[in-house]
Structure 1
Amino acid sequence: MDSSKVSPATLADPIDTLLSAHGLRRTAAARLVLGLLLAHPDTSYTHAQLLATLQDDAHPALDRVTLYRLIDRLTQVGLLLCRVDVERVRRYQAMPSSVYAIPHFECQSCHRDSPLSGALESSADDLERAAQTALETLKALGYQGLSVDFAVRGVCVDCASGAPGHA
């Protein structure tokens, strides 16, 4: 057999690899949810939005309790970032493995969540170092399952200017 030709079946699925590396079962539901979130890394979803998106895409039915348990497990092992917005609603998004803090802006009027990585590009290295230092310090003290949420809250430009469709 020619070793230069590798069949697609022999290549490891990156989602299966991630799930296995974090000690999770590679179920169809886990692959579906993690695949969706990894495909949209700058988007955060509520539980209801995830459920609606998965049902709209004509995927096999996934009940809300199974989804709750699954996103909880994915968050516990560090594959998802869970944030609680000003309305106390949990939002989930994929957690890049190389990122210690994902800065974002939450509008207190329209509740949009916008990544700030571009806006804070000149400060990104300082933010990463500060987050990494805080996590390492807490880990050395025995804390586990750590993540950093850097949220700036206020009113977005559209809402502040009274743009149509925003209140």
Structure 2
Amino acid sequence: MLHAHGLRVTRAAVSVLAVLSAQSAALTHEEVLATCRLASEAGFDRVTVYRVLDRLTQAGLADRLMGSDGVARFMLHDAQSSQLFECEACHRLQSLPEDAELQAVLERLSRSLRRRGMKPSESALRIRGTCADCRH
């Protein structure tokens, strides 16, 4: 996957990509760093992990998402990474479940904007509320 996106295959890149691949929620830089350190005997430092996250984001493999708390979080890029639920208590960002009706609504909205002379290039949906962990 790294090679296919023009990135070097390094121990740090493989580790960061594995961490993001194993998560359903977006992670902060600190969470990625801590998980990499737990999963490997290699000594990962802050700068290396940040640079890898930056490269993955630039290559389109990961998304950098800003929470309402102003903290950047990262998740593996997929079709759902622009449709998110954000917990107002812990600021965890999770992809919304796939929903064909939601996709249809977003496509109708895009067509409506084009009829008005607007040219949408992407759409994003963020629903805020309280996650199951914070509700208990």
Instruction: Work out the CA distance in 1 between the residues paired with 2:110 and 2:41.
Output: 38
Q: 1:108 corresponds to which residue?
A: 88
Structure 1 runs (4+) deviating above 3 angstroms are: 127-134, 154-159
Alignment of 1:1-167 (within 5 A): 18-40=1-23, 42-96=24-78, 99=79, 101-118=81-98, 121-126=99-104, 129=107, 137=119, 149-156=124-131, 159=134, 163=136
Q: Give the TM-score normalised by structure 2.
A: 0.77
Unpaired runs of 5+ residues, structure 2, are 114-118
Instruction: Work out the CA distance in 2 between the residues paired with 1:157 and 1:77.
Output: 33
**Aligned AA (1:54):** C
Instruction: Work out the CA distance in 1 between the residues paired with 2:33 and 2:62.
Output: 16
Instruction: Work out the CA distance in 1 between the residues paired with 2:123 and 2:3.
Output: 24
Instruction: Work out the CA distance in 1 between the residues paired with 2:110 and 2:39.
Output: 37
- Mapped contact 1:44–1:92 kept (Cα < 8 A): yes
- Larger RCO: 1 or 2 (CA < 8 Å, sep 6+): 2
Q: Aligned-residue CA RMSD in angstroms? A: 2.9
Instruction: Work out the CA distance in 1 between the residues paired with 2:128 and 2:107.
Output: 22
Query: Which structure is larger by alpha-carbon Rg, 1 or 2?
Result: 1
| Offset, 1:154 | 3.2
| Offset, 1:56 | 1.5
Unpaired runs of 5+ residues, structure 1, are 1-17, 140-146
**Secondary structure of residue in 2 paired with 1:60:** coil
CA change 1:130–1:61 in 2 (3 A) is farther
**Secondary structure of residue in 2 paired with 1:21:** helix
Q: How many pairs does the alignment contain?
A: 130
Instruction: Work out the CA distance in 1 between the residues paired with 2:71 and 2:58.
Output: 18
| Offset, 1:86 | 0.8
| Offset, 1:132 | 8.8
- Mapped contact 1:100–1:148 kept (Cα < 8 A): no
